[in-house]
């Protein structure tokens, strides 16, 4: 018993020391950035309103093991907080507590616990949030149920419920408690779908209006995420050979991400060889040998919460066949046509129409379709979306404005047994680049990864450090 007590006291002492750690990243957003985002939100909120932003729940991976936690991007955007079991209130007008102290935000966060932190990592706690994130009115999450505040007095309670909120022991019961307390204090009913959807629409409109226009600080993060992704694609081009598996290619991509400090991928990595490249969101990546086929790689790094979205399609053996070249060139030309429409004030539809015309005309000319309107048989997705804190980032309008960052990603996918000559079967090509909209045009942020036929083949003739990697043969399982 004494030993256990001493252990707890020791852990408590350790946890009271500074959060500064040797060799931690130094390029996170400052607390001023998040404060500016909250202030920008306040300016567009309606009068007598409060925005309620919940942390995302934890998710069980297996039994008592959770998936790596990923914060609600909105909560990260407005606070910098990366832990679960929290709720942030942002008020349009200044409020006063029962002691007469004025405040514009309330933040309820998970409590410090030396014993838990020894298992799952350090927590900021109340004092850490005040010091590191610069939010003065911070309380332990357990205190919210007894906190004296009349949310029902506001004309507009703007909120979006966190996903998967079944209050079981494996699905964030502490967060469920925060949600239940909020519902009672706000005097709302989650069964009233009309009110819930109205609140969510306003929540999405306001957050989308802010997040679709990137600040200079955000552009630094996005540029880094995109460049890292491009170097990963380029490394695979040099390393690729016909004996590689899809998983091996995925591994090289994600190793390069980690080497540059990108914490995660922005979405499940897609590496599809041959017929698998015709599956738009193919993520199993189980083909053990890519062979003499095209390999479609839709892989993007996530750096400090910001996600790239880059796709390149390469011939595993280093050389495109004539059929592959013809399909690839149509996609390339469609992307170039879309690029030419981009500038401040242009539209998604203008870019899409330009790409659609090139693809439909190209497929018709090759005899793959007999009528231009049939191009959608082989190009089945949209051309573009915003990127940022989500790989399909939130937005509020269809007009392109300066400092938006979007993808341009035309593609052609011809599965086996399609109604065309067999020489086109199992060819899947997508080229995806991340572009910054500027006043007079655009900047291709993903220019670091080759995209033309000639440049890809030239890059693939180079040598990669991975070419010399030799691992022991496995002895088990024979």
Identify the sign of the CA torsion 230, 264, 302, 269.
positive
Write the CA distances from 235 to 147, 260, 449, 462, integer angstroms.
54, 13, 9, 9
- Reference 285, options 246, 248, 255; nearest CA is 246
Number of H helices, E strands in the chain: 12, 18
pLDDT tens, 91-112? 999 999 888 889 999 999 999 9
* pTM beyond 0.85, yes or no: yes
Do 356 and 280 contact (CB within 8 A), yes or no? no
pLDDT tens, 343-368? 999 999 999 999 999 999 999 999 99
- Residue 178, Cβ density class (10 Å: 0-12 exposed, 13-18 middle, ≥19 buried): buried
Q: What is the mean pLDDT of residues 443-460?
A: 98
Percent of the chain with pLDDT over 70: 94
pLDDT of residue 10: 47
* Distance (Å, whole) CA 421 – CA 415: 11
Confidence of residue 225 (pLDDT cuts 50, 70, 90): very high
pLDDT(478) > 80: no
pLDDT of residue 6: 47
Do 286 and 246 contact (CB within 8 A), yes or no? yes
pLDDT tens, 42-88? 999 999 999 999 999 998 899 888 899 999 999 999 999 999 999 99
Mean of pLDDT over the chain: 93
- DSSP-assigned states of every residue in 244-300: --HHHHHHHHHHHHHHTT--EESS--EEEEGGGGGSTT------S---SSEEEEE--
> Could you tell me which residue, 392 or 3, shows the higher pLDDT?
392
CA-derived radius of gyration, the chain: 25
Length of the chain measured in residues: 478
Range with the poorest average pLDDT among 161-170, 188-197, 203-212, 360-369: 161-170
- DSSP-assigned states of every residue in 114-179: HHHHHHH----HHHHIIIII--SSEEEGGGGGG----GGG-SEEEE-PPS----STTS-HHHHHHH
Confidence of residue 3 (pLDDT cuts 50, 70, 90): low
Phi and psi, residue 91, nearest 5°: -100, 140
Do 320 and 453 contact (CB within 8 A), yes or no? yes
Q: Which two tokens stand for residue 373?
A: 């309107």
Q: Which two tokens stand for residue 402?
A: 């300066």
pLDDT(375) > 80: yes
Range with the poorest average pLDDT among 100-104, 299-303, 370-374: 100-104
DSSP 3-state assignment of 50?
Answer: strand
Residue positions annotated with a catalytic role: 64, 281, 298, 309, 381, 385, 392, 409, 413, 430, 432
Q: Which two tokens stand for residue 366?
A: 């090759």
Confidence of residue 8 (pLDDT cuts 50, 70, 90): very low
Do 402 and 344 contact (CB within 8 A), yes or no? yes
Q: How many CB atoms lie within 10 A of CB 415?
A: 16
Q: Which two tokens stand for residue 421?
A: 């000559």
pLDDT of residue 1: 52
Expressed in angstroms, the distance from the first to the final Cα of the chain is 50
DSSP 3-state assignment of 184?
Answer: helix
Q: What is the mean pLDDT of residues 256-269?
A: 98
Q: Which two tokens stand for residue 401?
A: 């404005």
> Could you tell me which residue, 60 or 159, shows the higher pLDDT?
159
DSSP 8-state secondary structure symbol assigned to residue 440 = S
- Reference 412, options 393, 396, 399, 425; nearest CA is 425
* Distance (Å, whole) CA 167 – CA 411: 42
Identify the sign of the CA torsion 458, 300, 414, 241.
positive
- Which domains does the chain possess? 22-211 (3.40.350.10), 216-468 (3.90.230.10)
Range with the poorest average pLDDT among 168-182, 410-424, 432-446: 168-182
Q: Which two tokens stand for residue 132?
A: 């590191």
Q: What is the mean pLDDT of residues 270-275?
A: 98
């Amino acid at each position: 018993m004494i030993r256990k007590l001493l252990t707890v006291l020791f852990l408590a002492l350790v946890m009271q020391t500074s959060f500064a750690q040797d060799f931690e990243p130094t390029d996170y957003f400052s607390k001023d950035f998040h404060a500016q985002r909250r202030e920008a939100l306040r300016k567009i909120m309606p009068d007598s309103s409060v925005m309620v932003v919940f942390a995302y729940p934890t998710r069980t991976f297996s039994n008592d093991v959770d998936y790596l936690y990923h914060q609600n991007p909105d909560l990260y955007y407005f606070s910098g907080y990366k832990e679960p079991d929290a709720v942030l209130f942002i008020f349009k007008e200044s409020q006063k507590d029962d002691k007469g102290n004025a405040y514009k935000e309330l933040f309820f966060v998970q409590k410090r616990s030396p014993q838990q932190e020894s298992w799952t990592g350090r927590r900021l706690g109340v004092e850490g949030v005040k010091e590191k994130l610069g939010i003065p009115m911070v309380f332990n999450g357990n205190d919210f149920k007894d906190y004296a505040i009349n949310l029902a007095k506001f004309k507009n309670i703007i909120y979006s419920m966190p996903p998967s909120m079944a209050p079981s022991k494996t699905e964030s019961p502490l967060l469920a408690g925060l949600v239940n307390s909020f519902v009672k204090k706000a005097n709302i009913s989650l069964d009233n779908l009309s009110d819930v959807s109205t609140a969510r629409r306003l929540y999405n409109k306001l957050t989308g209006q802010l997040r679709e226009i990137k600040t200079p600080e955000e552009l630094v993060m996005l540029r880094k995420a995109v460049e890292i992704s491009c170097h990963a694609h380029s490394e695979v081009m040099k390393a690729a050979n016909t004996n590689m598996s899809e998983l091996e290619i995925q591994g090289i991509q994600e190793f390069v991400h980690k080497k540059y400090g990108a914490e995660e991928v922005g979405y499940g990595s897609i590496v599809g060889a041959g017929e698998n490249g015709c599956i738009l969101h193919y993520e199993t990546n189980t083909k053990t040998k890519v062979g003499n086929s095209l390999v479609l790689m839709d892989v993007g790094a996530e750096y400090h919460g910001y996600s790239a979205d880059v796709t390149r399609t390469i011939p595993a053996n280093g050389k495109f066949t004539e059929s592959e070249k013809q399909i690839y060139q149509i996609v390339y030309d469609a992307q170039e046509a879309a690029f030419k429409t981009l500038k401040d004030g242009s539209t998604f539809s203008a870019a899409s129409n330009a790409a659609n015309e090139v693809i439909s005309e190209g497929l018709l000319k090759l005899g793959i379709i007999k009528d231009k309107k049939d191009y959608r048989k082989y190009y089945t997705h949209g051309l573009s979306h915003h990127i940022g804190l989500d790989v399909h980032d939130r937005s509020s309008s269809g007009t392109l404005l300066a400092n938006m960052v979007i993808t341009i990603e035309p593609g052609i996918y011809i599965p086996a047994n399609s109604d065309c000559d067999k020489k086109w079967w199992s060819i899947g090509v997508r080229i995806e680049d991340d572009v910054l909209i500027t006043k007079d045009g655009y900047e291709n942020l993903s220019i670091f990864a080759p995209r033309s036929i000639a440049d890809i083949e030239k890059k693939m003739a180079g040598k990669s450090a991975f070419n010399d990697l030799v691992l022991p043969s496995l002895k088990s399982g024979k």
